[in-house]
Structure 1
């Protein structure tokens, strides 16, 4: 057994073996995998082995697609049959809304290159007569996926890993991790079986590793404790049953191939064929979280007690959908733990606050995701970044400062029960809310605010009817223009025509200060640093030269800066910022730099619109109130300390909506006072509270890129069309990689002649002459142009304004035209308007 390795993978399930295999395939020698028991002894052994390509996320769709293709190659490489039955996957729809969901997914599938087809009830009945179809409206069929034997595919990947030099050692339990500053010292126990239990033998081991990857499945909470971090991966019970052979299915198989995997999403179950019978796997309400703090030492390849009453409704719906199953007896049943995360996406990437520690935890669809996770995580570790943006899976999307065990457990239970719930793009889940609220929350709620959750914060999405019940937001959701659309449209018009007030308190805010602050930020970001009292927009790059973070930087003094970034990514940004300071000081022998998270100290209101100056003039306190907000005293892209009534405010003249406006950064304890002051003063000027959805539409009219959509780790700022914020005369982190990447695609804004009752969501494929040439990353409605609008990436040769394209919506192609950048107010006359 080696004692020094390049990379150590902890966990021998499907995910761990896939990571070890791909690290070796990517060229890393000295890779080792440790498993505390036997390979596949965690959730892998009792998994149903399904390989659903369907996923509403772009990165996860790529991961699933890679896995399905990769598993088909393993037998040729290793000689081991992975047990892949390519039987297809029939995902049925009982309602038009469900078919809308599938049609939105189909556009995502187009961007990834996943084959699919839509079937009518008559076509389903013709192909698979055992399925009852009279209450269906259609189905989505994936012909290339199916199911696989979890143990066989894991063993095939393990063999492939060994063939590439990976050492796999069983019966080794990790008990501690220690970072020396250059490597990890991993210590643990050699395990033995005694009385059916797995216990430490008394013999220990120590391994030094440059990198460590944890893929510990159900043991993620133990891993979190050893690392001193929080990992919101907690198992939830999952039951499935196996029936005796169904004579009708046996007869069907005499003249047909194997039955496809069936998914009746509206009934919340999957069914697949198993030796002439059926496996039913429901995702019911009420399944409890387990092992919230640790897996008991006595729990190995064990199961929980059954609770079949909990899945009675799903069982009866299977009988309805497959009538011949009614008289078939039950042969076997399982109730085992499957790990979840609050949003259902696994945690894949750097561990928060730690160097060279990588997490691969929280896989609710671990067999489907294992191969792709190994591939893309290996790219991140070996090359610095994956070819796709993995931010949606990044472990740091859950802030260490507020995420707790209770939160994770309750949200994971909700996530389990929501596997087959309609996943509207405007989806908001209710568990564990409200949790983080700014002081003005109750005032906003009283005005009809319907909230979304961003990094735990409650943030108004829009303001609905004052007499609406709390359930209004849920009832208003749709894959088309939902019930909320009319309210967002009115809010967008208010900002374009009068004034709007937006709560942006969730913004991440950091102070960077000290004698090395200027030198560090000049190296860390792409743009010139602003002068004192001024601001700029800038970008921090990944090692691959792609966009890692977007910052608004306010220079408060020579060596004092205030950094504002996306609220959804506060921990992600802070971790990157602190590690970058350490890297810069080590590389440049730089002076001390301080970093302070001040997010919860400052509330933020954004006031915008042609009458926003008039509203502020009502309440500003100054020796010359008539000119304090003028261009001469308060120019665009500058910052000033002002007083609004009794509230001291750090005001920044900038507006994400593209109108005259200011961000008002204020002491959070004074937020209610400032809210009341502004709302009262604004009555005479048509001031309206505005939510995030209208703001998202408005920023697209100005072609403002957003982090997490247009901006991410798969495109450089130059590809995003942000050349004016990149100073190529200076050296900065990631510059050489950015220049070497070149221009693979370009970000554009499109005006779309789409359906009358729907707008794009930012997940749609773009076509030219029948060929896929790009994809949307954002979408919505333009109140200025009276039609749908979107932003996205296309081939560079098609990025010219006036180019005609097609966008896929509702399973058909609609006309779209590339607009000039900033189609609304391209000269910024409205933003610069004087007073």
Structure 2
């Protein structure tokens, strides 16, 4: 065994072999893969091998699409048939809501180039007469996917990897990781068979590796312990059954081709053919998580006992959908562990707090994702960034607050939700509430309906406190949900009066020390503000794309307060700290403190916001304390509101006159009560995140994770005023080298009367040529129509350009508007008083 390599991949399932293959294909010639047992002995061996392209995530759709295309090339390269049956995927709908879901998905598929077809119930029956279509509304059909043999495709990728120089070593278990400052020392133990079990021997080796990738599947908790980190990847039981041959199917196949993979999403199952019979895979309620604290040593390629009672409802619904299966006996059954994460997306990317350690864990659709994961992770490792934004899969999207019990509850919920309607406004209830601001109970009593951001409960909107019996706060829709009118009223309140938004979940860091100024000047692309002032700026990746958006408040010559998106606290902290460590020798001592949980934030905004705050401010001249002269736009001051010290920032994400009030978290209840009492005579209205999202689009304010991400530069986001090309900053040369490949713009949309875009829709020229995609969407109270932001060809990002947006399977008129269509001169923000 070689004892020094460029990259060590740990785990010999489909994901691990794909990563090893793609690293070699990307040019790394010194790659080794270790497997503690045999290749495919984890979840890979009992996977059903389905390759569904259906996914609401832009990044995951790209990953799945790559896999499907890549697997078709393996036989020509390796001579091994991966067992790919391109039979298509028929996803049926029993309700109009399900068809709406498919239409929302379909426009995402178009942005990724995934082909699909619409079928009516009659067309389904005509093509596949064994299917009972009496209660179907229709279906979406993917003709290019199907299913594959998991073991065969893994072995084909392993052979391809070996042909490219990858060393694959079986029966070696990793027992320790040690970072030396420049490479990893990995202690491995030879595993041997003893009494049917796999046990460690006394033979050990130490392998040094510049990079390590863990793809350990069900053993992710063991990996987490060895690395001293948290990985919320925990398996859930997944059952599927195989029937005896169905005579009607056997007869049908004498004159017809194979059925597509059938998915009755409303019945929560998939079905495909298997040797003249059927495989049924349900996603039932109450499937338990397993191995929350590690896989027992005795568990190898094993299964759990089948629990047929748990899947009885799904089994009966298969008989309803395929009546010929009613008299067919059961041939085989499987109940094995499949890893999940709290949101269903895998954990792919750099490990939190560690150098050159990469995770590829938590794959609930591992066969579908393996090929694309290898491809895009290899890009990250070899080139610095992938061509798509991988932030939605980054392991650091879960912070240190996440516990094993939380992961168990959310993973079980995620399994159950595989086929539950995925509304864009959905809010899942498991493990909530967990992280709450001190005023959570006050907000709830006033009708707040909460969303969950990084574990924090954050008001989405405020509904009626005494709701009528027929009002359902949990009613979701792919069109305008029950919450829509409440968000409209909240948005109008900020445009016309005064509103208050709880922004406590914002990520907050203090950066200070002798090297802080030089570091931040290099780390971000905009000029640093003067003391007492603020600016908006971006930290770039090494590829020149946007890694993080910051509002920077300069408190002193070498002390800064950084505010960034609430969903990305651990993600931002990790990047900030690692960059500071790298530059400390050059710039001097830099201290970084994550103070997210020390400060609450209320954003008070609207034409009457100054009048409200005058009621509370304690100042020698309260009438002028908030004037432009004493408190100009884009400045920060320490003020006192009653007895509460507040770091007030004159900025508003809504584009109105307003202030962010950053306050000690322990005084939040006091400050809330003062603001609510003072606001009564000014008509203060509580406002949630959904209205805020609409308002920021009226100002063309980009949002991280939407318009801003690792697949576009700040220049492509059309933010030249926040880029100082007179200075050197991290990623500058790479940003300039990329040029402007596409450009961000804002669009006003004449859409359907009952729906707005969600921010994942495809954009077209009037002649039907696809030219871009939306990244945000919503409703504009200022213009009385739908609004969206997105990326198009640079020549089209010009005010007045006529485009079309795909919504609910129709093309609707859209017009590129000016940047900041509401109040483009910022007169309301700068208003004096």
Tell me the distance in 2 between the aligned counterparts of 1:564 and 1:223.
Answer: 33
Aligned to 2:777: 779
Contact 1:72 1:84 in 2 (8 A): yes
Contact 1:50 1:146 in 2 (8 A): yes
| 1:756-801 CA-partner distances (Å, limit 9, x unpaired) | 0000000000001211100000000000000000000000011110
Tell me the distance in 2 between the aligned counterparts of 1:249 and 1:385.
Answer: 48
- Root-mean-square deviation (CA, aligned residues, Å) is 0.9
Tell me the distance in 1 between the aligned counterparts of 2:298 and 2:474.
Answer: 46
Aligned to 2:683: 686
Tell me the distance in 1 between the aligned counterparts of 2:472 and 2:190.
Answer: 54
Contact 2:344 2:364 in 1 (8 A): yes
Aligned to 1:35: 35
Q: TM-score, normalised by structure 1?
A: 0.99
Aligned length: 832
Shift of residue 590 of structure 1?
A: 2.0
- Which structure 1 residue ranges, 5 or more long, are not aligned? none
Q: SS at the partner of 2:474? A: helix
Tell me the distance in 2 between the aligned counterparts of 1:542 and 1:472.
Answer: 46
Q: SS at the partner of 1:755? A: coil
Tell me the distance in 2 between the aligned counterparts of 1:611 and 1:827.
Answer: 19
Go from structure 1 to structure 2 and tell me whether the alpha carbon gap of 1:398 and 1:471 turns closer, same or farther (over 3 Å shift).
farther
Aligned to 1:430: 429
Tell me the distance in 2 between the aligned counterparts of 1:685 and 1:251.
Answer: 76
Aligned to 2:196: 196
Contact 1:473 1:484 in 2 (8 A): no
Tell me the distance in 1 between the aligned counterparts of 2:680 and 2:263.
Answer: 53
Aligned ranges for residues 380-395 of structure 1 at < 5 Å? 380-395=380-395
Aligned to 2:720: 723
Go from structure 1 to structure 2 and tell me whether the alpha carbon gap of 1:469 and 1:548 turns closer, same or farther (over 3 Å shift).
farther
Does 1:546 pair with 2:534? no
Tell me the distance in 1 between the aligned counterparts of 2:46 and 2:190.
Answer: 25
Tell me the distance in 1 between the aligned counterparts of 2:531 and 2:682.
Answer: 33
Go from structure 1 to structure 2 and tell me whether the alpha carbon gap of 1:470 and 1:575 turns closer, same or farther (over 3 Å shift).
farther
Aligned to 1:770: 768
Aligned to 1:591: 588
Aligned to 1:467: 466
Contact 2:463 2:473 in 1 (8 A): no
Aligned ranges for residues 44-63 of structure 1 at < 5 Å? 44-63=44-63
Aligned to 1:570: 569
Contact 1:263 1:269 in 2 (8 A): yes
Shift of residue 435 of structure 1?
A: 0.1
Tell me the distance in 1 between the aligned counterparts of 2:25 and 2:468.
Answer: 56
Tell me the distance in 2 between the aligned counterparts of 1:232 and 1:475.
Answer: 27
Aligned to 1:518: 517
| 1:709-751 CA-partner distances (Å, limit 9, x unpaired) | 0000000000001110000000000000000010000000000
Tell me the distance in 2 between the aligned counterparts of 1:493 and 1:805.
Answer: 28
Aligned to 1:18: 18
Shift of residue 476 of structure 1?
A: 2.4
Tell me the distance in 1 between the aligned counterparts of 2:385 and 2:451.
Answer: 30
Q: Could you list the runs of 4 or more consecutive aligned residues of structure 1 that deviate by over 4 angstroms after TM superposition?
A: 469-474
Tell me the distance in 2 between the aligned counterparts of 1:621 and 1:788.
Answer: 42
Does 1:790 pair with 2:788? yes
Aligned ranges for residues 53-202 of structure 1 at < 5 Å? 53-202=53-202
Shift of residue 585 of structure 1?
A: 2.2
Aligned to 1:338: 338
Contact 2:473 2:483 in 1 (8 A): no
Contact 1:450 1:473 in 2 (8 A): no
Pick which of 279-288 and 463-472 moved more.
463-472
Aligned to 1:612: 609
Tell me the distance in 2 between the aligned counterparts of 1:355 and 1:299.
Answer: 31
Aligned to 1:264: 264
Shift of residue 465 of structure 1?
A: 1.1
Aligned ranges for residues 306-325 of structure 1 at < 5 Å? 306-325=306-325
Aligned to 2:413: 414
Tell me the distance in 2 between the aligned counterparts of 1:122 and 1:185.
Answer: 62
Tell me the distance in 1 between the aligned counterparts of 2:128 and 2:505.
Answer: 51
| 1:396-430 CA-partner distances (Å, limit 9, x unpaired) | 00002x00000001100000000000000001100
Tell me the distance in 1 between the aligned counterparts of 2:742 and 2:691.
Answer: 28
Q: TM-score, normalised by structure 2?
A: 0.99
Does 1:531 pair with 2:530? yes
Tell me the distance in 1 between the aligned counterparts of 2:677 and 2:714.
Answer: 41
Shift of residue 475 of structure 1?
A: 3.2
Shift of residue 468 of structure 1?
A: 3.5
Q: SS at the partner of 1:492? A: helix
Aligned ranges for residues 660-675 of structure 1 at < 5 Å? 660-675=657-672
Aligned to 1:359: 359
Contact 1:184 1:211 in 2 (8 A): yes
Aligned to 1:238: 238
Tell me the distance in 2 between the aligned counterparts of 1:322 and 1:205.
Answer: 55
Q: SS at the partner of 1:619? A: coil
Q: SS at the partner of 2:237? A: strand
| 1:522-573 CA-partner distances (Å, limit 9, x unpaired) | 0000001000000000000000000000000000000000000000000000
